[in-house]
Structure 1
Amino acid sequence: MKAGIFFTGSGPILLLTSYESLDDPQLVEKLETKGIKRYIAFEVDEEKVRERYGMHYTVVMNDLRQASDLRVLDYDGHHVFNMFRFDEMHPPVKHDA
């Protein structure tokens, strides 16, 4: 599972995905169907995400209503932005439709 902070037009969101990379063509297509056509994404360590989000992480991972290949962990941009330091983020992945 990969965790990524996606900076979109409406602000940062934290996503969990089973795709190999944050610019995987199938992930890009799925995000585009959800209206996210342009983004800058930073992978973050999934273990740190699990530690910082605790029970919420577990609840989201066990939510059967969400697709298993893409789960939204946090859509509160201010909260997402402040949960991780820049030095904890991997190099950016950019997508521009």
Structure 2
Amino acid sequence: MKRKGIGMAEVKKARGGLSRPLTASPELAAIVGADPLPRSSVVSKLWDHIRSNSLQDPANKREINCDDKMKAVMGKDRVSMFEMNKLLSAHLK
């Protein structure tokens, strides 16, 4: 794949948008780790935490019951899966 005026090294090096590594806040880093990660990896690790701790509401799978670590990030006892992605933005730079 070669673009006009751009060599392969520049194409592979360009990382922006969703693939750009972001740094997590200390509260979020307690769940996903302190290393800079793309947003997709942060969400994936957060879902791993949710599944491994059985935090998804069995009656309504769209609702997440927050444990202490997630309460520090979300600021609530319960969040919807859609609201969760919005609340993550405040913890990623």
Same-fold call, TM > 0.5? Answer: no
Higher relative helix content: 2
When Rg is computed on C-alpha atoms for both structures, the one with the higher figure is: 2
Higher percent of residues as strand? 1
TM-score by length of 2: 0.24
**Structure with the larger RCO, 1 or 2 (CA within 8 Å, 6+ apart):** 1
Normalization by structure 1: what TM-score? 0.23
